[in-house]
């Protein structure tokens, strides 16, 4: 099989498998043995939906997001920081609850910081959080994603928004190890299973008194994520809940 996606809930008794292959024969064989359905997926239509025009978003009074090629509504005051995002197939346009919550918590965290603070963005996707960090005053930003398509999309967005202080790299968080640098703010908007599996290196990347924003967490997974990170030297400052998603703001000792 070319791709396998496993959907599971914490403490759930069932899992759902999605398998993708250019050759439908083995998929039909598995469906006949295990149950399920086989259907054709049109990648071009999926990409077209991903790139469909999105409405402008006001994250904070001075921070907004518009679609690539879009315009800020003439009826609204234009925010001082306006990010233009062309997501392609990369995650993070500002609409999803996890991204929006990260942006709002990041904005509030840096309100009283002097310019020049450092930031690490793990699972950068479209690059939206790393770019927001630069526009909000970060002096140095490191952004990492495992998907080369996301890295390419983020590079295009960096150029589009004239971001020059972001160091973008391809890397798998499950195998990633931090160097000697410790960051004032660390952002990790990825699946909770990956957060928990990479908890130790993530924790080591946060400087003393630094802020750790964890997102991509479903409500039933919140306690498990907290039970993993709090013993590593963090205190919970805020849990932002929107719909079925939770974003956690933690403070390093």
Q: What is the pTM of this model?
A: 0.80
Output the average pLDDT for the chain.
88
What is the pLDDT, as a whole number, of residue 16?
72
Q: How far apart, in whole angstroms, are the C-alpha atoms of residue 166 and residue 48?
A: 28
Both structure tokens of 87: 């997501």
What is the pLDDT, as a whole number, of residue 40?
80
What is the pLDDT, as a whole number, of residue 33?
80
What is the pLDDT, as a whole number, of residue 85?
92
What is the pLDDT, as a whole number, of residue 2?
54
What is the pLDDT, as a whole number, of residue 104?
96
What does the CA dihedral 79, 84, 87, 91 come to, rounded to 10 degrees?
Answer: -30
Q: Quick check: 98 pLDDT over 60?
A: yes
What is the pLDDT, as a whole number, of residue 233?
97
pLDDT tens per residue, range 121-149:
999 999 999 999 999 999 999 999 999 98
Q: Quick check: 35 pLDDT over 90?
A: no
Domain ranges of the chain: 3-41, 94-252
Nearest to 132 by CA among 96, 103, 89, 100: 103
What is the pLDDT, as a whole number, of residue 9?
55
Q: Quick check: 186 pLDDT over 90?
A: yes
Name the pairing type of β-strands 15-20 and 3-8. antiparallel
CATH architecture of 94-252: 3-Layer(aba) Sandwich (3.40)
pLDDT band at 242 (very low <50, low <70, confident <90, very high): very high
Partners of residue 16 on adjacent β-strands: 7
pLDDT tens per residue, range 36-70:
888 887 655 555 455 555 689 999 999 999 988 78
Q: Quick check: 160 pLDDT over 60?
A: yes
Answer with the residue of higher pLDDT: 7 or 208.
208
Name the pairing type of β-strands 140-145 and 118-122. parallel
Is 192 within 8 Å of 202 (Cβ atoms)? no
Answer with the residue of higher pLDDT: 11 or 73.
73
Q: How far apart, in whole angstroms, are the C-alpha atoms of residue 156 and residue 163?
A: 10
Q: How far apart, in whole angstroms, are the C-alpha atoms of residue 238 and residue 249?
A: 5
Nearest to 237 by CA among 226, 248, 221, 225: 248
Both structure tokens of 143: 């952004």
pLDDT tens per residue, range 10-31:
556 667 777 777 788 888 888 8
């Amino acid at each position: 099989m070319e791709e396998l996606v496993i959907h599971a809930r914490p403490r759930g008794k069932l899992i759902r498998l999605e398998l993708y292959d250019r050759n439908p024969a083995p998929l039909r064989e598995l469906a006949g043995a295990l149950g399920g359905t086989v259907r054709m997926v049109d990648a071009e239509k999926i990409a077209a939906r991903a790139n469909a025009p999105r409405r402008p978003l006001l994250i904070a009074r001075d921070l907004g997001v518009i679609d690539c090629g879009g315009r800020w509504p003439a009826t609204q005051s234009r925010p001082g920081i306006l990010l233009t995002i062309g997501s392609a197939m990369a995650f993070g346009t500002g609409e999803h609850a996890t991204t929006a919550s990260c942006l709002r918590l990041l904005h509030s965290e840096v309100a009283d910081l002097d310019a020049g603070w450092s930031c690490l963005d793990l699972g950068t996707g479209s690059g939206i959080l790393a770019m927001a960090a630069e526009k909000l005053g970060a002096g140095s930003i490191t952004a990492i994603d495992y998907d080369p398509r996301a890295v390419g999309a983020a590079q295009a967005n960096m150029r589009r928004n004239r971001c020059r202080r972001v160091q973008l790299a391809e890397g798998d968080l499950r195998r990633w190890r931090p160097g000697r640098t410790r960051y004032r703010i660390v952002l990790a908007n990825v699946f909770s299973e990956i957060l928990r599996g990479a908890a130790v290196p993530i924790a080591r990347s946060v400087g003393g008194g630094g802020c750790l924003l964890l997102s991509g967490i479903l409500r039933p997974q919140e306690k498990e994520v907290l039970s993993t990170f709090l013993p590593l030297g963090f205190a919970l400052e805020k849990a932002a809940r929107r719909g079925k998603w939770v974003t956690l703001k933690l403070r390093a000792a």
